[in-house]
Chain A
């Protein structure tokens, strides 16, 4: 075991800076905030999945007292477009999903806006809709947008792929690859129920038009900068300043918020007043972005030692009515696929993206990789079963190791410089789970107790996006006016707190390096105007990206302090260090000078640090699960989960533990059991738009949960503390692991998401029929 460095804050539990505000209800979220003269914005939404507006009359609505604006597509610039590439106007005569915006209203109150909406008269021409990606791309399918012939979304996402589109992997002679394969698995697998991660706080934005192309936006986004980038494109070169409060959960899903920001901006522009556009839970479930739909038609081969050696096939993505970055998710998904099959040399794997008349698919925790893994994981399991391999042993051979190379989302080749210890993390997780005792072989239950059977399964996943996007930070030392000899440390970064505790973690990093009490460190409020660039915390990038920028900025300011003190004390800077606002002589700590006084009174000294995007430090998570299946009802219960990783260095144990536990939520593990958006096919309406009909795991149904976190000190993490972020992927391999566990418990493969009782009973019946046939044949 490596010796862990001893730190003052790093690796120790630290109270989150906003803890008292959170438990007293003082924390501000968007819906708690009001601006003077703010109006309420609402939308009339399409009742049809695919339709043309033949006639629209908003005359009566405009006459309602308290209504300040009604906008139809006729009054909205058609140059404000969404999707990537910008293939449809934000509002148009053409409606592409139930919930698509028909008209916008700004009014004094919500009730007045609702009354006005009821008075808008619309005549629709209902068109034939298309609801699945396969049907959408088939010849003769209804055409959703003229700009996308055949409903096919073109590949490539320039923000991620400036060197050219990356949407397929073609390597080696496939025929040769299959000749080397000892075990083959081939099938079509769907993970296409397009589940919502469903944050407690609905999406929303307040926009104030400031004249010209300038807008100030307060939003529920977890990433100000991503919102700025994507809305600036949709709103035709708008100059946006984005600010956030605390965000009430996002799970990657509240980022661009184009569906909220653009309506509020349009209404603010015509009313010259701030407009709040905040969705209800019904609208969040019924219109806000979901997970993308994934289907793979693939054939994979595994060699005699259990290494995936060849992959052939295609990944079909359902983007719903539009998506502003699905090609980016293709890139990440393909990247993650290579991490779990890192020894594979033969590839012929393609992707296709289809438009359907469903609600838009957007950014969600897992970002393409999870959806693809949920499909691919089942095929890998089938190949492992064919070779009778123990999955844990097999995963150890297949997961990326330092020196392995892969093409990441940018299409470029990267060499893994991550942890050497991921196989050890797998082993220790398996040990903690009791895998050796519980694993009885493929299709064999762990235990049988009357009509209740148990089974175990495991999945792995990893993501190199933890080093994504350039990030910068300033760390400033400013006078503390409350203390005559005091100073404060200000970490100037653009980080929204959406639950991960990273605002506190960057403060810990600065406090650690400067060796000061945490109470002296402040982090600036999230705001794109007053902070340097940062893409927020998506992709678990906080630890590496913000970590590197903040630690470099802190080291920079520290070296300035030591240099100034060196001149004052007439000693070399190397002989000095700093603690609690003083620079002291290492050999004689009593000899010290206060920071204040090292430079001109009332002024600031500042350090700068940046992180430059790199994809060479993939993280990792193994998810091991035990389920119990009732053979009579088909109901599956998760009994136990062990989630394991190597974090390099733990920054905050409890918050990391909760990130690991968070893999149960946000449409991760339970997409294997009961989470699904159900579309009423004749109409295209979602039937799961409230928290009763959409199923989620309540407090009294949580299984035993344990974690394994190694700390191998990953040098390439480059954030001074050798730590990588883990949170995003903690539950990403959970869904395929659960299906593996169910299949083992009942002795028949289940490959359908979610494995609701009817799906499980069907599989049990199939097995019983096979047994009966075998017996009959035997007679």
Chain B
């Protein structure tokens, strides 16, 4: 645990990818395979379900720290991270356990799940007493399932590949599905990740998907496209669908559906199960799951469905899904990722046609002779319910992750919706922004200027400001606080921000009657007075 906590501290302390890579390599070089197995799991985003309910954890930590609950709460507000708060409050331990991460996980932490409170009250303090402060913080993050550190899966892959002298694409391939809840990290599994290449590896792949190829944002003006991208005819152009990116894997008479988070989601989409008969064995399709009723439906519908544990008949009728296929990664059992985009597309169309099922459609291609003409077509994005366009190099191969070395995909999104809104509540942030007021609630007016009107909250946002701006906002919040409700402060309205968001829908859960997607701050409008902010009517106009 100590070595893993040190790795966490090293990764946390730097923003340099090289320094992180060096820290990862140093860790994996010395770690026992069973410990490394868990480290890979956590570092590439694996999260076991919460082991101890947060409420209990807090109560027990407060008790063990010998402080009043309100003092714990004040401390938490100041630190902004529960695991860190607890680790700073518990009695300092002089002794540190020599047990590795695997022993901690398998023998000490996982067995805590489901234990009655009395039993936990006995076990937890005994465990805590074995760890120094940095290890304790990491340990509690593992217990709460909130372990996160700034490394990408790609970086973990690179570290393992360099250490094992393997192609990093091979390691990425082996890592797919490693963090799925059904997989329990073991020494054996870890050794497989870094084992030398073998000839039967491809045949042993089961339902394994391929690592997703990810797109880069394209924000340059269209006038520069000729210089940047060359002729539009070199590009495969499609709509950018607003759904769930997924891979359909059909092998050995079975179908697996994997989400972009490498989560197995086959059970959530029963209407896709019929594809098991339509697709030949040895087929892997990359595409987008959307709600489809002759045309794509808003993401909000899909979202409501994802949240459900059980899918009622009504839900399936109201929000039926289909897959818009846009790539073919495996065909007749062969890895097709080294074929060009154009070849893959041609073959994909055949596969879709032969499958001949309404739940599998080929994502249509868009054509034009000039970028300007494509830009004009793109104007229709909003009314078509898409986010913009995807541009894929026709001679590009299918890469791993967000890379450009084998081919490139660009996402050419339409500008976000935007309105000018007023900051009315502020909450202190977490992690790097602990103790700063960094999470804000925004409101618009419920009437036109000059009328008797009030501000109605409609969105929360916490991203988009520079650190410098955030410090300024924080200072203003502190000066203009009217009332505090726990960590939230209401302020005298004085600050206007241009808020951007991707989608807008009617909502019964929000006071304003409106819900927006991915709200963020585009600009601090210091030039605008509160009276000049937009009103609900502006938002309602965007709905149509």
Does B bind A? no
